[in-house]
């Protein structure tokens, strides 16, 4: 089942992977995105949600698209999309 916690943790994991692949630090992304370091650290640990606007900002900083950072089930090619996914603000 998809819930806010699983989305948060999966997004955090993919963002950590993207940072590592780009050979960039948390401090670098914080400076580039304008996100406070403490906030970004919490997001990367899955302790704080990452809004879609932040996903877009982080993706732009890393020369990626937001879909590269979002969990795989958001991908247009995902075959296992949950039919009961509810997006809340």
> How high is the pLDDT of residue 78?
56
> How high is the pLDDT of residue 19?
97
Residues 6+ apart with CB under 8 A from 13: 46
* Low-confidence stretches of the chain (pLDDT beneath 70): 1-2, 75, 77-89
Residues 6+ apart with CB under 8 A from 89: none
Please check whether the domain covering 7-72 is classified as CATH 1.10.260.40.
yes
Domain ranges (residues) in the chain: 7-72
> How high is the pLDDT of residue 6?
84
């Amino acid at each position: 089942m998809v819930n806010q916690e699983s989305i948060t943790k999966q997004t955090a994991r993919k963002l950590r992977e993207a940072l590592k692949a780009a050979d960039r630090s948390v401090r670098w992304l914080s400076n580039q995105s304008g996100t406070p370091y403490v906030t970004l650290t919490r997001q990367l640990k899955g302790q704080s949600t990452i809004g879609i606007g932040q996903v877009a900002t982080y993706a732009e900083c890393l020369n990626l698209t937001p879909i590269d950072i979002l969990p795989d089930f958001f991908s247009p090619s995902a075959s296992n999309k949950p039919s009961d996914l509810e997006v809340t603000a």
